[in-house]
Structure 1
Amino acid sequence: MSIKVLVVDDSALIREVLSRMLTRDGDIDVVGTAKDPIDAREKIKTLNPDVVTLDIEMPNMNGLQFLEKLMRLRPTPVVMVSTLTKKGASETLLALELGAVDFVAKPSAEFEGGLDGFGANLRDKIRAAAKSDVRGRSAGRADAPKVPLKTAAAPSGALIAIGASTGGVEAIRTVLSLMPTDCPPIVIAQHMPPGFTARFAARLDEVCDLTVVEADDRMVLLPGHAYVAKGDYHLRVERSSGQLKTRLTHDELESGHRPSVDVLFESVARTVGAMAVGAILTGMGRDGARGLKMMRDAGAYTVGQSQGSALVYGMPRVAFEEGAVVEQAPIEAIAGRLANALVRLKSAA
C-alpha cells in the first residue's frame, strides 16, 4: 500500500519537483499539494495524508505556527524541507522540538549536482516518517520530568556514548537535560547534515546544564561536557598522551552514514572498553547495532530506547535483537540507567 503524501510549499516549482521526486519509486503517492498552511489545513482534512512535507517560510501563516497547531489538533508525521542557512538550521531544530519527525536540506541553488541524492534522501525520510508514532508521542508523553539525578560520578577515564537518528534531536535533549554536571564526557553521533550540527549543539548547550559543543578534531574530552559529531564527519575517540580525545575524519560512509554511530561506538569499545556506557536511541535502520555489540562485548553497560518511547523503533530494535543492549528503557529513564551504571563503575574501582 502506497504512502500518501501532501506537499506544502509556496513555490509552484518546488511543489512540482518534490512531487516528481517522491513518486519515482512507486511506493509513494502525492495525493495533493498546497501553496500555504491555509490551503494545507483543508487538504489534510479531505485527503488524510500519511505524511506532510512542509516548508517554513510561507505566506499567510509561518510553517512553524502551522506545525504547532497541526501537532496539537491532528498529529501527523511531518518532514520539514529546510534551507541550509544558520536561520534555517535554528528554525528546523525548533520544528523538531514542536513535533516534526525529520527534515531534509534543500539542494543548492538551481539544484546543481545533488538532485538525485536529495530525492533518494527525501523518499527515505518519508518512509521513516510513515512508520513513526507521532500520535502516540503526542497523546501520551509529556516532557521528561525534571527529577535531577544526584550524581553520575565515575572513575577517571570513563565515557558515555550516545547514537541516534530520526527523532534523536528530542531524545538526546531529554537524556542530556537529566544528566548531572559531574558526569564523564559524552560523545554523540546523530545523523544530521553539515550546517545543522553546530546549531544543534548550541541549542543543547542552551537547554542543558552540561557544556555541549560541536566536536572538532583532537579535542580533549572533559567531564561535564558533551561533544556532537560534526555533520558529514565521522567522530571517533582515541587515547593520546594519557587523555581521551576526539578524532574527526571524512572517510567513506559507514552503515550508510557519516557521521556513523557504528564508527563512534566501535572506537569507544576499542579505546575505553568496560569503562564506557552507551545508549542507542530512536532512528531508522541498523546503524549502531554492530558498534554497540562491540561495546557490550568489551564489558560496557549498554541500553536501548524502548519501543513505546521511540519515535522510530528501528536502530534500537536491531540492537536489541542482536544482543547489543543489556536492557531497554523509556527515554525518560535512560539518563538514570547510565548514571547508575557509572556509579557502579566508581564503586568497583
Structure 2
Amino acid sequence: MTDKIIKVLIVDDSGFMRMVLKDIIEKQSDMKVVGIAKTGLEGVEKALSLKPDVITMDVEMPELNGLEAVKLIMKKNPTPIIMVSSLTSKDSEITIEALENGAVDFIQKPAGSVSWTFRSVGDELLEKIRNAAKVDPTKLMRKTIKVKKPRISLSLRGQKIVLIASSTGGPRSLDTIIPNLPKGINVPVVVVQHMPAGFTKSLANRLDKVSELTVKEAEDNEELKPNTVYIAPGNYHLGLKANGLKVYTFLDSSDKINNVRPAADFTFDKAAEIYKSNIIAAILTGMGKDGAKGAFKIKHYGGKIIAESQKTCVVYGMPKAVVEENYADFVLPNYEIAEKIVELLGGK
C-alpha cells in the first residue's frame, strides 16, 4: 500500500517564487503540485475547484491579499494553509492575523522576498507541508464561541505567575485566552510561542490591541510587572531571575531545546525555581513535547498545569505529552482556560 500523495496548491504573485516552490515540492515522492495561482482571488477559486490537501499562500498579492484569501477559503472550504511571508512589519502583522483566522503555519522567506536563498528553507517548508496535511480542516474554522469573562476575586494576592506555552495553532488559542484575562489579575503572564524573530513582536502588538492587560515582547533585564503579558522574543530563550523580591527577565541565545528557541522548557524551569508552587501553567496546541519537562518541574513544586484539550487544538502534540504523563490538573478547550486561570489565581 502506497502512502497518500499530498496535493499542494501554490498561490504566489511572483513567477520566480512559483517556480522555486514548485521545484522544491515536485522533487518529493509524496507530494504533487495540483495547481498554481497568481493572485489571491485565483487562489480562492482553485482552492474550491481543485480541493488540495495543503495550500502555500503568499502574503502580499494583487486583487486579494493572503489574509483575505485565507478568510474566504476557511469560510467556503477549510484547507490547511501555510503562509509564505517576508520579514517586514506589514507582512508579519498580516501573517499573525492569517494564523488567527485559520492558517495553520507559516514560513519566512530569507534575505528578500524573491531571493534564490528560499531554497535554504526548503526542508523546513516540506516538513511544514507534511505536518499541515495531517491537520483536521474542521479545526481551522473560526468558530464564534461566547467566552465567559471571569470576575476578579478579591482574594488575589501574593507573588504568583501565569506561564503559557504554544506552537502550531497557538496564535488562535492565545487570541481566545489573553483578551479574556481581566485587568486586575495582579500577576505577570509569560508566553512562549514558537515563532521566529520579528513575528513575536507583531503577535504582541496585535494581542495588546484587543486585551485589557498590557501585552509586549519581552526585553532583556526588565522587571516583571503585574497585569502585563510578556511574549518571549523569537530566537531567544526567555529566562527569569530573582533579585530580592523582584523578578527580572533575561534573554538567552544558547542552543535550541526540543529543536526550538524560544523553548517553554527553558522558561518553565527558571520560573519553577523562583515561584515554586505559585505557578499556573497552560500548555496549548503545538507539535512535539516542549513544555512537558517544565510541567513536570512545576508539578514537583506544587504548581498547577492546564492542558488545552484536543477539542480546540489545531495540533494535539504538546498538550497530549503533558496529559499522557499525568501532569495536567485540568484539560480544557481554549475558551475555558482564561476563566480557570483566574479561578486558580483567586484560590477558589
TM-score by length of 2: 0.92
Unaligned stretches of 5+ in structure 1?
Answer: none
Change (3 A) 1:21 1:91: same
Specify whether residues 228 and 25 from structure 1 end up closer, same or farther in structure 2 by C-alpha distance, changes over 3 A only: same
Residues 168 and 16 of structure 1, relative CA distance in 2, 3 Å threshold: same
Q: Does 1:155 align with 2:157?
A: yes
| Alignment partner, residue 292 of structure 1 | 295
Query: 1:152·1:180 contact (CA, 8 Å) conserved in 2?
Result: no
What is the distance in 2 between the residues matched to 1:39 and 1:266?
A: 48
Aligned residue for 2:168, secondary structure, equals: coil
Q: Does the 8 A contact of 2:100 with 2:175 survive in 1?
A: no
1:131 is matched by which residue type in structure 2? K
How far 1:101 sits from its partner (Å)? 1.2
- Measure how far apart 1:153 and its partner are: 5.7
Tell me the CA shift for residue 3 of structure 1: 2.0
The structure-2 alpha-carbon separation of the partners of 1:343 and 1:119, relative to structure 1 and needing over 3 Å to count, comes to same
| 1:60, distance to aligned residue in structure 2 (A) | 2.8
The one of 144, 147, 152 equivalent to 1:145 is 147
Segment of structure 1 superposing worse, 276-285 or 36-45: 36-45
Q: CA offset at residue 192 of structure 1? A: 0.8
Deviation at 1:25, TM superposition (A): 4.7
Shift in Å at residue 24 of structure 1?
4.5
- Between the two proteins, the alignment pairs up a number of residues equal to 343
CA displacement at 1:182 relative to structure 2: 2.0
The one-letter code of the counterpart of 1:303 is: I
Would you say 1:264 and 2:264 are equivalent positions?
Answer: no
Residue identity opposite 1:204 in structure 2 = L
Give the Å deviation of 1:332.
0.7
Alignment-mate amino acid for residue 80 of structure 1: M
**1:292-311: CA deviations, max 9, x gaps?**
12111221100100001111
Deviation at 1:146, TM superposition (A): 4.9
CA distance in 2, matches of 1:97, 1:153: 34
1:115 aligns with 2:124: no
Q: Which amino acid aligns with 2:209?
A: E
In structure 1, how many angstroms separate the alpha carbons of the residues matched to 2:128 and 2:213? 30
Question: Which residue does 2:257 correspond to in 1?
Answer: 254
Deviation at 1:46, TM superposition (A): 3.6
CA separation of 1:81 and 1:178: change in aligned 2, threshold 3 A: same
Partner residue in 1 for 2:105: 102
Matching residue's letter, 2:151: L
Q: How does 1:1-349 map to 2 (within 5 A)?
A: 1-109=4-112, 111=115, 115-116=119-120, 118-138=121-141, 141-151=143-153, 154-183=156-185, 184-344=187-347
Task: Give the 4+ runs in structure 1 shifted more than 6 A.
Answer: none
* Structure 1 residue 335: Cα displacement: 1.1
Preserved CA contact (<8 Å) 2:150 2:338: no
Instruction: For 1:273, give the aligned amino acid.
Output: K
Aligned-residue CA RMSD in angstroms?
1.9
Give how far 1:30 is off: 2.2
Identity %: 38
Do the aligned partners of 2:164 and 2:282 also contact (CA within 8 Å) in 1? yes
Q: Which amino acid aligns with 2:342?
A: A
For residues 296-349 of structure 1, give each alpha carbon's deviation from its aligned partner in whole angstroms, at most 9, with x where no partner exists. 1221100100001111111111111122211210101111111222112xx7xx
User: What is the CA-CA distance between 1:91 and the residue it aligns to?
Assistant: 1.2
Deviation, 1:112, is 6.7
Which stretch of structure 1 is more off in the superposition, 322-331 or 43-52?
A: 43-52
SS in 2 for 1:274: coil
More displaced 10-residue stretch of structure 1: 274-283 or 65-74 = 65-74
Task: Check conservation: 2:44, 2:72, Cα contact below 8 A.
Answer: no
Q: What is the TM-score normalised by the length of structure 1?
A: 0.92
Instruction: Give the 3 Å change call, closer, same or farther, for CA 42–170 of structure 1 in structure 2.
Output: closer
Structure 2: tracts of 5 or more residues without a match: none
1:174-214 residue CA offsets vs partner (Å, 9 max, x unmatched): 11111122221000100111111111111111100001111
Helix, strand or coil: the match of 2:144?
Answer: coil
Q: Distance in 1 between matches of 2:30 and 2:174?
A: 31
